């Protein structure tokens, strides 16, 4: 996997503000290889759709992957005839290579791509990029497997697609529903940091990008799409599936060994609400409960096995004490690392000593239960002893969790005497140039350009003072929504009879 350096951690997600500038907001890439038949209808249809419906400047980039037919000639003709269309020629084949090349060089804040066959209905394009413009999401994908999607395709492709996504869920724990739909978008600031980590240059490029983004905690927005299968598709299903499975193995191995530095994709502290300190909401309580239950269940099985072994060499009290001692040491070590996230050797001895005190409480509960059983019944059965011990351990487990959380592994801020306060958002990324100052080129927070209006701009009659998303006039930060100003309020569909 790639381990080369990247531009650095991601800035805090922000709503890209609307203002006058010259660069396109959206760059739609169409990767092609020997597509002389479908290229012109695709580009003309997409250009017409964007002209009629998209409220910002756009660009269509034809990424020619070493075509050997007349595709380069058709591309150059479209570039000359249609404004906002450009051609990028690559001498090596590979969809992933084409997307990485064009996206890495593009200055548009929103980058997208779609297949040349336009199987996906274009009405999903604006819903695809809107969450990226608003700052709500980092990536967006079209999904043919969502419940509200409308898909027309053969049983063979349907089976292969669903099987592939089941493999991703089972092997890489992917939560997105459709990795192969050729209809995706990404914010440029995210692409600049994510693309250097993606190794594949072919069809697996999409899946690898999504898996890494999801593992890094980035937000992926899914849009249900209307999709009609192209019967003349030139994709070799068997070869593509084989390469995809090889990619799944490679990425899974890299994630398991930790060779990927996904920390470079982390958002600043406070961008994720789970990172904030919220009053009266203990941080990480739900996660700690799940982790403690898992460790506790495994520890209980380990304890019962040890008890059964030790019981063959001594009495019940001795077997219980030895089994509980060994399992308690293992339980404390596992909870220290997995449940409460304490790493390193610092404080390990103290934690084990405190864990032994908790062990003493558990020993008192279980030993008392055994003593009560022996007093009530002469020579109880082994199965009865196990049942009593399980019940006693369940009672001790609740107390053990409370002691672990409040005493053995307390929250560091609470242990230092700091009170919990309601989170206030502190800007951790560079601010945009204020009004009157020119935006620097390449600035991911530069104002979104507007397309020139055919009539008097609506925004000219409604002058407003602009602030960063979430920032009030007094400089404080609070939840807010930036209102986008209409760019072409008089834009209408020429095919609409109204």
182-205 per-position pLDDT tens digit? 899 999 999 998 999 899 998 899
123 vs 474, residue with greater confidence = 123
- The helix (run of H) or strand (run of E) holding residue 244 is helix 237-257
Q: 224 pairs with which residues across the strands?
A: 143
Share of the chain above pLDDT 70, in %: 73
Share of the chain above pLDDT 90, in %: 28
d(CA 373, CA 433): 76
d(CA 381, CA 366): 16
d(CA 56, CA 450): 5
pLDDT confidence of 497, banded at 50, 70, 90? very low
Q: Which of 324, 316, 305 lies closest to 363 in space, CA to CA? A: 324
pLDDT confidence of 450, banded at 50, 70, 90? low
Phi, psi of 221 (to 5 degrees): -95, 135
Side-by-side strand order, sheet with 220-224: 85-90, 58-65, 26-32, 110-114, 183-187, 139-143, 220-224
d(CA 385, CA 342): 35
pLDDT value of residue 236: 63
Inform me whether the pLDDT recorded for 55 exceeds 60. Answer: yes
363 vs 200, residue with greater confidence = 200
| 219 CB neighbour count, 10 Å cutoff | 17
d(CA 190, CA 228): 30
234 vs 379, residue with greater confidence = 379
Span 314-333, average pLDDT: 86
Q: Are 87 and 98 in contact (CB under 8 A)?
A: no
Instruction: Please tell me whether residue 274 adopts helix, strand or coil conformation.
Output: helix
d(CA 339, CA 358): 16
The owner of tokens 């502290």 is 269
Q: Are 369 and 394 in contact (CB under 8 A)?
A: no
Inform me whether the pLDDT recorded for 421 exceeds 70. Answer: no
d(CA 215, CA 172): 9
Q: Provide the token pair at 71.
A: 């595709």
pLDDT confidence of 409, banded at 50, 70, 90? confident
Beta-carbon contacts of residue 494 (< 8 Å; ≥ 6 apart): 52
Q: How far apart are the first and last CA of the chain?
A: 55
Q: Are 56 and 26 in contact (CB under 8 A)?
A: yes
pLDDT value of residue 458: 38
| 455 CB neighbour count, 10 Å cutoff | 8
What is the Cβ-side half-sphere exposure of residue 120, based on CA atoms within 13 angstroms?
A: 26
β-strand pairing of 58-65 with 110-114 = unpaired
pLDDT tens-digit readout, 12-35: 777 776 655 568 999 999 999 999
Cα 231 to chain centroid distance, Å, stands at 33
46 vs 276, residue with greater confidence = 46
Q: Are 141 and 178 in contact (CB under 8 A)?
A: yes
pLDDT tens-digit readout, 206-249: 999 999 998 888 899 999 999 898 766 655 667 777 888 888 88
């Amino acid at each position: 996997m790639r381990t080369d350096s990247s531009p650095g951690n991601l800035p805090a997600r922000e709503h890209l503000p609307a203002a006058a500038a010259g660069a396109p907001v959206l760059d739609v890439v169409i990767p092609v290889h020997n597509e002389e038949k479908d290229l012109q209808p695709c580009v003309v249809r997409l250009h017409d759709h964007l002209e009629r419906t998209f409220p910002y400047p756009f660009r269509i980039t034809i990424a020619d992957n070493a075509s050997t037919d007349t595709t380069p000639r058709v591309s150059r003709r479209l570039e000359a005839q249609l404004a906002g269309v450009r051609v990028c020629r690559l001498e090596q084949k590979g969809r992933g290579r084409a997307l990485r090349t064009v996206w890495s060089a593009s200055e548009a804040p929103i980058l997208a791509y779609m297949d040349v066959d336009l199987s996906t209905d274009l009405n999903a394009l604006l819903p695809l990029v809107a969450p990226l413009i608003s700052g709500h999401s980092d990536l967006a994908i079209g999904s043919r497997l969502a419940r509200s999607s409308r898909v027309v395709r053969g049983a063979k492709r349907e089976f292969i697609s669903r099987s592939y996504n089941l493999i991703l869920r089972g092997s890489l724990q992917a939560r997105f529903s459709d990795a192969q739909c050729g209809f995706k978008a990404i914010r440029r600031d995210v692409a600049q940091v994510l693309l250097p980590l993606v190794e594949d240059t072919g069809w697996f490029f999409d899946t690898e990008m999504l898996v890494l983004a999801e593992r890094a905690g980035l937000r992926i927005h899914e849009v249900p799409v209307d999709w009609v299968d192209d019967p003349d598709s030139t994709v070799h299903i068997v070869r593509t599936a084989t390469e995809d499975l090889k990619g799944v193995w490679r990425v899974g191995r890299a994630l398991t060994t930790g060779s990927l530095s996904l920390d470079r994709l982390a958002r600043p502290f406070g961008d994720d609400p789970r990172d904030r300190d919220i009053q009266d909401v203990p941080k990480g309580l739900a996660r700690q409960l799940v982790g403690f239950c898992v460790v506790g269940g495994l520890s209980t099985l380990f304890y019962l096995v040890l008890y059964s072994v030790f019981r063959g060499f001594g009495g019940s009290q001795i077997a219980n004490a030895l089994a509980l001692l060994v399992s308690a040491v293992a339980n404390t070590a596992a909870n220290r690392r997995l449940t409460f996230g304490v790493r390193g050797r610092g404080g390990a001895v103290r934690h084990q000593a405190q864990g032994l005190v908790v062990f003493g409480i558990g020993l008192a509960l279980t030993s008392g239960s055994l003593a009560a059983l022996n007093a009530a019944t002469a020579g109880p059965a082994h199965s009865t002893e196990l049942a009593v011990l399980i019940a006693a351990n369940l009672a001790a487990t609740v107390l053990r969790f409370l002691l672990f959380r409040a005493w053995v592994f307390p929250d560091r801020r609470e242990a230092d005497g700091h009170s919990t306060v309601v989170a206030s958002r502190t800007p951790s990324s560079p601010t945009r140039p204020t009004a009157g100052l020119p935006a620097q080129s390449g600035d991911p927070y530069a104002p979104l350009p507007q397309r020139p209006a055919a009539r008097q701009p609506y925004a000219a009659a409604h002058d407003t003072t602009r602030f960063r998303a979430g920032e009030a006039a007094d400089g404080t930060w609070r939840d807010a929504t930036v209102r986008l100003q209409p760019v072409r309020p008089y834009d209408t569909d020429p095919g609409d009879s109204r």
